[in-house]
Amino acid sequence: MKNLGQMMKQAQEMQSRMAEMQQRLQETEVVGQSGGGMIQVTINGKHEVRAVKIDPSLVDPEDVEVLEDLIAAAVNDARGKVETYMQDEMEKLTGGMNLPPGFKLPF
């Protein structure tokens, strides 16, 4: 029973660290970009877009599709950076614990 008590204590500690990590993620912002930095999209750890910056030279009413594609690419770049950040933080949190494939934290 001593091992069970120790496991419960470790689970509670991990839960506390998980809550702290989730709070940090919400406060974290990353910038994705495309077009050599001419489009920049800032998102937070919850994948909420916080800001969009567009170089004025890209604004051409005759060619809106290019602008749309660049914005989509910048959003996807930012999302990829958030995912990478989250994975890195999870590795730190779990201490390299091997979780089963498909098992994601936070639940």
What is the per-residue DSSP string for 40-75?
Answer: EEEEETT--EEEEEE-GGG--TT-HHHHHHHHHHHH
Q: Report yes or no on 8 lying in a domain.
A: no
Q: Report yes or no on 98 lying in a domain.
A: no
Give how many domains the chain has, as a whole number: 1
Under 8 Å between Cβ of 21 and 10 = no
| Interval 6-26: pLDDT, tens | 888 887 888 888 888 888 888
The mean pLDDT of the chain is: 84
Q: At 68, which CATH number?
A: 3.30.1310.10
Q: Report yes or no on 64 lying in a domain.
A: yes
Residue 4: the pLDDT is 80
**Residue ranges of the chain with pLDDT lower than 50?**
107
Identify the DSSP state of 95: T
Under 8 Å between Cβ of 32 and 76 = yes
Q: Report yes or no on 70 lying in a domain.
A: yes
Q: Cβ atoms within 10 A of the Cβ of 57, count?
A: 8
| Domain boundaries, position 33 | 29-88
